[in-house]
Each structure stands twice: as structure tokens, then as C-alpha cells.
Chains A and B, each alone.
Chain A
Amino acid sequence: MNRFPETSSQTGGPYVHIGLAPQQAGFDIFNNNFGNVLVDERTEGQRIAIEGQVIDGSGTVLRDVLIEIWQANAAGKYAHPGDLQAKALDPHFRGWGRGGADFETGLWRFETIKPGPVAGRKGQLQAPHINLWIVARGINLGLNTRLYFSDEGGANAADPVLNGIEWAIRRKTLIAQRGERDGLPVYRFDIRLQGETETVFFDI
């Protein structure tokens, strides 16, 4: 069968915000903007924030990076027809968001809910996790990684994707550390592009 080659990826460049987050670029153009808040007051589940910085090989924080996240709802179901799990959809949760790092501090942040566990392959169960896609100037092909939660030790220990990482020492680069601010659980997830603690990135 004929197979067409996938179009080559290219860097999003320094001005990726114009297309994906124009208000951050400095102007208002669309009536409806996609952003980093995934919940409204009707969304079911435990409210959390996730935040962090992306750090380059010199230890410098990236201030022009943009991140998208994709996650299941509180019951552990994705809002997509390919998910056949017998679980309820939440009409007030899409599970997708995008946000640029702050131009001064490099801090990125999402307000969301903690996802439930999702079915894995062959009847296994995946620990709660959030999928991240990272684009920036200097990144030729968007980077895929996963965020897991530090307070899910048992589920993490049984997660087939984490366990599939041959180097056990690298698995901890995917565990976001729980803190708390004003009563809200805040999970810190720093992403290191290079160095001894380089984050695990996936070929999905």
C-alpha cells in the first residue's frame, strides 16, 4: 500500500504565541482563546495546579517555551470517541489546554483536575498522568513527555509506561512533586532538556 511521508516538523520559533496564544504575544484578535485553565465551576474532580520551568543545557530557564497538555477526566476517561472504557464523560471537561511560559520567570502553569487512572494495554492499568507536548525556538520536533503525581506511589510503581523505562533512575524525572498553596494542591514539574537529570521524552 502507498504510504505518504509525514510532513517534516519545524521549530515553532520564538513567536509561537502569535498563533497559539495571541494575547500573550500582546494583542487581542480572537473572541475565543484557548488557554491554561481547563476547569470551570461545574467540572468534576479534585482541583489542582501543575507548574514548572523548562531548563536548557546551561541551566538557563526557557522563557519562550509553549506547552500543551492532554489528560483524562476525574473518572479516567478521555473526551474522544476512541476511548471505549465504560466510564462517564464529564461535559464540563475537555482535558486539553495550552500555556506559554512567563516571559520574565519562565514559569508555566495549568489549572486543572487530577485525572483518574486510564486503562493501559492488554488489561493493565495506567497511573494517573498528564501528557505534555513542548515546543519552542530551538526544538525541531515537539517533545512528548508525561507528568505523574508524587502522591500516587503505588499506582506509579505499577505503571507500565514508567516501568518500561529501562533506567529506573530516570523514571523520577516524570514525577511531579506535590506542594500546597492557599489550600490548592500544586504539583511542581521541572523539565530538563539536557544534563544528568535530563527528563525522559517519548517517541509515541
Chain B
Amino acid sequence: MHPPRSSAPTDEFLQRDTALHAPALTPGYKTSVLRSPRLALISIEQTLSEITAPQFRPEELGPLDHDLILNYAKDGLPIGERIIVHGFVRDELGRPVPNALVEVWQANAGGRYRHRNDRYLAPIDPNFGGCGRMLTDAEGYYRYRTVKPGPYPWRNRINDWRPAHIHYAISGDGWCQRLITQMYFEGDPLIASCPIMQTVPTEEQARGLIALQDVSAFVPLDSRAYRFDITLRGRRATLFENFVQAGAAA
């Protein structure tokens, strides 16, 4: 197979395959009922507004921003299983997405979030903030260190529990690549019954949200590791004329 052709920042993106995503209305996840648009999305041809996006620089991030074990440590280390999470951000054509901003947030090992609106019984960990961020390198690679989050109960049905998960927000090279999602952990028995996981339309897409334990990246006597790759939308080839900004000075 030929490697994919390189893309130009002036190229349009492939149309989003909406069948890969949850519909807006997913009654099993009750909050979606009143918050889901009822009318069809209006599909538009991309313009400069959709094919461009903010660009981030390494100096905007601090040296510990991607180390959740140390970035809020006050008088000790956070409690919990030490893990590394790593992977590649690529596009739909398999090309790396370099310089993507990856932001992550999570509950602590007891399933409690450091957020003024979270009232769960489990205690706050004084040494754990629960968020981190990083930029992908030239190969689209990212990694961070944290403690494994705990599951927690939530008000949907009265005995619904979220599986352990880490939230992700990824900002790529185009506004229409912006993605927010959640990563789960291989082997978690709560995944199958989670109403939020059940919003994902296919088994294969659900599998794509589950990080696999990666023994090859373990740090002996220190940390286990999980591998989680992310696919963003890809720019498509401009075969004849680029219509996005026809007439603009090139």
C-alpha cells in the first residue's frame, strides 16, 4: 500500500461520518433528552472558518502539565495505581497529527472529582488535581502520567456507575477536527452496562474508546501503562481547484 499523500493546511476535511457517533438523543443517557437538538444539523461546505484552528506553542504549557502525579502534589504523592497513558493521534488517512493539544481530566482513585459541584462521599485527594495537557510531537505521539481513576455512582438510574474513565479534549489543525471523548480501561466490568458507553453506535467504535494494557511500556517497579490511540478527521486531496479561498493571493 502506498503511504498517504501529505496534506496541506489549505485542504478541506473529509465529510464527517456521523454514523460513527452517538445520535444527539440517547434516552438511556437521560440528560440528553432535553439537551439534544431535534432538528437536523445543517451541512455546509467548508470555508476558511472550518479548515483553520488555533495553534498552540510548547511554551504555553508548563513542564509538569502532563504529569498528573506531580502537577498538584502538595505534601506527598496522590493515592492510587500509578499508570502511564500514551498513544498516537492520527487522522482518518493514517497520517500523524502533530502539535495537537490533548487535554485530559479525571476523578481521583476514589472516584471523586476536584470540582465545586461534585458532592460524592469519597474524599478529595489533597495531592491530586486531576487534569493535564500536552502537545503531540512530530509523530503525533503523546504521553502522560497519572493515577488510575476510580468508578463512581451518578444520577441516571439510581444504581448507575461510571466505569473508570479519563476525559479527553483534542484540538487538531482544523476547527472541524475538534473532538471531546472519554477513554476507558480494558477489562472493566462496568463498561458493558454504562449508559454513556451505550450511546456509542457500534461495538467496533466502543472498542476504540477502551485503552489496552501495554506491558511493553511498563516502568518496572514503578508504573503500569495503557495505550490509547485517537483518530481525528483527515484533510482530503484537492484534485483540481481549491474552492475554499479561490481568488485569495497564494
Name A's B-contacting residues (CB within 8 A).
1-20, 22, 25-27, 29-32, 56-58, 60, 62, 64, 68, 70, 72, 78-86, 94-96, 103, 118-123, 126, 129, 131, 133, 135-144, 146, 161, 164-165, 193-194, 198-204
Contact = CB atoms under 8 A, between A and B. Distances in A.
Contacts of B4: 1
8 contacts: A5-B17, A8-B208, A9-B21, A22-B131, A29-B72, A84-B249, A143-B37, A198-B37
Given A8-B200, A32-B61, A140 B23 contact: yes
B225 to A, nearest CB: 20
Interface of B: 1-2, 4, 8-11, 14, 16-18, 20-24, 26, 29, 31-39, 41-55, 60-62, 65, 71-72, 90-94, 103-105, 113-118, 129-131, 133, 167, 169, 173-176, 178-182, 196, 199-201, 204-206, 208-209, 230-234, 243-250
A173 B51 CA distance: 24
A120 B16 contact: no
B42 A5 contact: no
Top-9 shortest CB links A-B: A19-B105, A138-B31, A80-B52, A96-B54, A138-B35, A82-B9, A86-B249, A140-B22, A203-B41
Contacts of A164: 42, 44
Contacts of A84: 10, 245, 248-250
- Looking at chain B's contact residues, the main secondary structure is loop
Contacts of A12: 167, 169, 180
A64 B232 contact: no
B248 A86 contact: yes
Contacts of B31: 11, 137-138
Contact of B21 (A1, A13, A141): A141
A15 B167 CA distance: 10
A13 B154 CA distance: 11
A82 to B, nearest CB: 4
A18 B118 CA distance: 11
